[in-house]
A and B are shown apart, each in its own frame.
Chain A
Amino acid sequence: MRIMENRIREARPHVTRNEKLIFERSSPGKSGADFPPLDVPPVSPEEAFGVELSRGEVEGFPEVSELEVIRHYTRLSTWNYGVDTGLYPLGSCTMKYNPRINEEVARLDGLASEHPYAPEALVQGCLGVLYETGRCLREITGMDAITLQPAAGAQGELTGLLMIRAYLAERGNPRQYILIPDSAHGTNPASATISGYEVRNIKSDECGCLDLAALEQVMTEDVAALMLTNPNTLGIFEARIREIADLVHSRGGLVYMDGANMNALVGVARPADFGVDVLHLNLHKTFSTPHGGGGPGSGPVAVKKVLEPYLPLPVIERMPQGTFGLNYDRPRSIGRVRAFYGNFGMAVRALAYIQANGFEGLRQTARDAVLNANYVMSQLKDSFDLASYCALMHECVFSDRRQAARGVRTGDIAKRLIDYGFHPYTTAFPLIVPGALMIEPTESASKEELDAFINAMVSIAQEVEENPEFVLKAPYTTRVSRLDEVAAARKPVLRWKPSH
């Protein structure tokens, strides 16, 4: 082994192999794709565009064979961790199983191959899938109308807020503020700003819940809406949401619900009954579409009847004769939020997931997700400080208070967890918890997997007591050790450049 290392610097066990960038594997003349012979007369770019608008070869572009591409990306994939690898308890992200049948049906010729501008009469299959997905989501939320256009949750937030703005503006005054609890996702305030509002933060109580007395004070006639996540980011149901909604409504405002945590509620409770006027769902969380290393997502927005006229264009409708069509004739609409009709492929997957589960399956899913989170909480509460003692739903949040006293923070515990074979939980969020460890096991975690995770967490808590220095240098078993994020930001290198 030692001899080999001295002589051969490149070779390593395959999963830790030092795979270069694709550009560095390139050598002139190679290609990984062939084409049928051209069956029309060739045209040169100089002839078509003129010399001024033509270009030579793309400098630095890779030249590699098909096998090299396959090996390169297969090797890269082994440096990743996914739900398919093991427990991925990233809080607020709902890293559940992504069924393979979803992938199969989303790739069917006739769905994946359809052009968005094909005549409506010829694409009834795609339109029908969109309509049925929307119908199921309306049924689950109890809301009256829906758009599947937003490309992700944050875009859904923006869409919902613009609808609120249009509604209020039509009544004479769009108002000035959006109220957002300090426990909310960062996308909430960012979306509020882009929609032309100012943000007023409200302090949460020890459950991360809204303080009704505080709301009473800040809920003025200048406030357009309250944005509320329910269950909130501590995993706790906002039990007084009906009273909160009544208060907001009594002062002419609307209630926006961030539906990121809807996995705890499907089949159990419907946001429409909470007094919510508009909410977004994340198909990549609750409805099993894959997270893809950070997208594509999908953020449908469901609304009550009062907001229906403002839905983005176009709206898909079922015609009296049973066919489906796209309605663009909606003068009060906020307009388009994305080209075409949104991430159609995600709607296909979400519908396949709903079909696979049915009503009972979805309700059991919510119950299992809640049971799993509570089980983890019950087994870790002696080793870590709970952020809150209120009854939990789909996730549990701890503080690193005890470990921080030994110099170990939530991010360090997360790195050590990697050595035990798990993807870390969400670190340092929500912001209201000092050094948060936010754990969402989802229904996809078996008891066996959870027990292994619990053992790992308890063991790390012991390591922190016995040898904190050791934890601070984790991880030890990954291809690369702890990466220097400060250096990356100080002098950003964001692309490869040829060395010559």
Chain B
Amino acid sequence: MRYLPNSGSDRAAMLKATGRSSVEEFFDRIPDELRFNGRLDLPGPLSEPEILDFFRQAASRSTREYVSLLGAGAYRHYAPVSVNALLSRGEFFTAYTPYQAEISQGTLQAMFEFQTLMTQLTGMEVGNASLYDGSTATTEAVLMAMRLTRRQRVLLARTLHPEYGEVLRTFIRHQGTAILQVPWEDSGQLDLCQLEAMLNAETAAVVVQSPNFFGALERTSRIAEAVHRCGALLIVSIAEPLSLALAKPPGEADIVCGEAQSFGLGVAFGGPYVGFLTAKEKFLRQMPGRLVGQTVDSEGRRGFVLTLATREQHIRREKATSNICTNQSLCALAVTIYLSLLGKHGLRTLAEQNLAKAHYAARQLAAIPGVSTPFGGPYFNEFVVRTPCDADGLLADLQKHRIIGGLHLERFYPELKNHLLVCVTEMVGREAIDRTVEAIRRAAGAEAEIESNGPGAEFAGCEAVSVSPGAKK
């Protein structure tokens, strides 16, 4: 019990001061039948080396030795060691929500910097101090748009991260909202004609992701024109904000939200991540989450405080703009430090490396006979590859070479059987890309050969799909 600072005599002295004869008396209000008198089946107590050993063993049952081409809303990027060094300062990570501004200026100033960085990146005017993650930020953005427009119909691009859509459905199911999906066109981008046809005077918001789930950048200016014509709001959700170092920010949108995990946070098996939400200034009073504002102290010195709290649950209770309380401050701090370190030029260089590597990988893959990149839309570090045979078999084959070759899109889109979502960040070296391409070439070639000779037992499950003649030896 190394965490407990009181000795037996400390406890005895305190107990005496309270006038009680035993600590048990403090629990007298709990009726006997509600007391737990048994022994909980819990591990421990364990010393530090034992705890380390347990988690090191868990960490060994992992993909840490693998080349990974997974993205899909969780992106592997290198974080400079300074990020972790600064996050590990106890003054930052053991503090709580900065209600007492005078002794929380560190957190408050950093959050003000975070808000600024997010508005600079997204081309919006105001930003909040973080939300849980990209999926819940997107849900909050939709709820905000519904409050602003007092309308109840929402159009979601089918190329929005499918899990973001699922979260949205869970939370707005009981608001009487109609949720419709807008398909993609051949380029993998939003089908603008379909969008125009689906928009009407009841539409509260249109949600598009850019780059979308297939990696394609959306034409947000043109989408915004159509959306605004019918008085709806455009929400742009961004899961890979590194793209914003090179891609035009969606300045015509009304709300930009998303996931900032890319900026200094590990993929960490899905969390903790950090959501962001930025918007046009005129929508400020309907924004969810904490906001940090600049002010002055009694001597006129600049300082920062939590502000516009009258939107929030601890003041407004059932009329609040959101139920959020604890959000993701420390993760937002990581983002702030990361972006400060990389800065204007570092972020651009990093984004250029991602762009170049993904395009190199896509070209190499598309050169494999039978393999294609079916969507022609512009992409950043993620793209879709169509495989000439069963993609699950192919992925399993790659795993034998310690390569995780991407995400089989059939998981979310039944019509995209044998389509892989492939992400190439700066963490994947050319050698690893070449090795992956070779492995896919061999696997695809092998399957094509087996198919040309009739299905063998091993690949009985592999569906016959069109294979270009060049794949045959």
Contact = CB atoms under 8 A, between A and B. Distances in A.
A444 to B, nearest CB: 7
B141 interface: no
A116 B74 contact: yes
Contacts of A450: 14
A467 interface: no
A118 B169 CA distance: 25
B45 A32 contact: no
B103 A423 contact: yes
Given A32-B341, A370-B27, A480-B297, 13 more contacts: A33-B350, A35-B350, A55-B248, A152-B132, A152-B324, A152-B326, A154-B325, A268-B30, A338-B132, A355-B45, A378-B18, A443-B3, A489-B309
A382 interface: no
25 contacts: A22-B336, A33-B80, A35-B426, A61-B343, A73-B110, A77-B89, A79-B103, A79-B109, A80-B92, A80-B106, A83-B95, A103-B88, A113-B62, A125-B58, A186-B325, A291-B96, A293-B98, A295-B329, A346-B272, A354-B43, A371-B14, A391-B26, A424-B100, A485-B295, A495-B127
B320 A88 contact: no
Nearest to B29: A237
A32 B105 contact: no
A108 B104 CA distance: 30
Interface residues of A, number: 206
A339 interface: yes
A357 B44 contact: yes
B305 A116 contact: no
Contacts of B135: 336, 338-339
Interface string B21-57: 0010011111101111001111111101011101111
Residue picked from B43, B98, B115, B430, most chain A C-beta under 10 Å: B43
B430 to A, nearest CB: 4
B249 interface: yes
Contacts of B74: 115-117, 340
A304 to B, nearest CB: 16
B51 A352 contact: yes
A371 B23 contact: yes
Closest 10 pairs (CB-CB, A-B): A340-B270, A196-B174, A110-B59, A84-B90, A292-B330, A358-B44, A358-B45, A82-B94, A296-B272, A125-B61
Contacts of B31: 239, 242
B6 interface: yes
Given A82-B95, A123-B269, A190 B23 contact: no
A37 B422 CA distance: 23
Contact of A32 (B82, B92, B309): B82
A371 B11 contact: yes
Nearest to A323: B61
Interface stretch (A64-72, A248-256, A402-410): A64-72
Nearest to A429: B314
Nearest to A42: B356
Interface in A324-339: 334-339
B453 interface: no
Interface string A442-483: 011111011000000000000000000000010100111111
A124 B61 contact: yes
A53 to B, nearest CB: 5
